[in-house]
């Protein structure tokens, strides 16, 4: 039983050490940094895109009985998710190239100091 726990502990420790490499900043965009920036941009854009192109039932003159008159007629969520992802990808690619070009180096801390 102790050997089983030691083996699991060793595997877990190796996995944690391997995963820790993803959190160590190497001067570029790490995997965690890239995913976090992408998701932040994606959520902000999603909530920006949601009201675009919405026509309420009241504006269309076709209010379904028992529903809110301000409810959208056709919200097109798949189209909005697609455009949100496409625009976010373009912004993220620009962010990637800015970070790797060195243009933003003066605005990021190095060795505990800015600039």
Q: Could you report the per-residue pLDDT of 31-48, keeping only the tens digit for each?
A: 777 778 888 999 999 999
Taking 90 as the threshold, does the pLDDT of residue 64 lie above it? Answer: no
Residue 61 lies in a domain: yes
83 in Cβ contact with 49 (< 8 Å): yes
- 81 compared with 100, residue with greater pLDDT: 81
Residue 20 lies in a domain: no
Residue 39 lies in a domain: yes
Total domain count, the chain: 1
Residue 7 lies in a domain: no
Distance, in Å, from the CA atom of 39 to the CA atom of 32, rounded to the nearest integer, reads 11
Residue 99 lies in a domain: yes
pLDDT band of residue 49 (cuts 50, 70, 90) is very high
pLDDT band of residue 70 (cuts 50, 70, 90) is confident
Tell me how many degrees the CA angle 5-8-11 measures, rounded to the nearest 5.
150
Residue 18 lies in a domain: no
Distance, in Å, from the CA atom of 13 to the CA atom of 35, rounded to the nearest integer, reads 24
Residue 81 lies in a domain: yes
Domain enclosing residue 83, as ranges: 29-110
pTM over 0.85: no
């Amino acid at each position: 039983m102790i050997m089983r726990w030691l083996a699991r502990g060793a595997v877990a420790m190796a996995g944690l050490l391997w995963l820790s490499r993803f959190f160590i900043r190497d001067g570029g965009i790490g995997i965690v940094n890239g995913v976090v920036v992408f998701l932040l941009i994606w959520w902000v854009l999603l909530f920006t895109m949601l009201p675009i192109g919405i026509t309420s039932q009241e504006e269309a003159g076709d209010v379904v009985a028992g529903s809110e008159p301000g409810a959208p007629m056709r919200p097109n969520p798949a189209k909005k998710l697609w455009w949100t992802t496409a625009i976010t990808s373009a912004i993220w690619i620009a962010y990637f190239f800015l970070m790797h070009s060195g243009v933003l180096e003066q605005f990021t801390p190095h060795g505990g100091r800015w600039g």
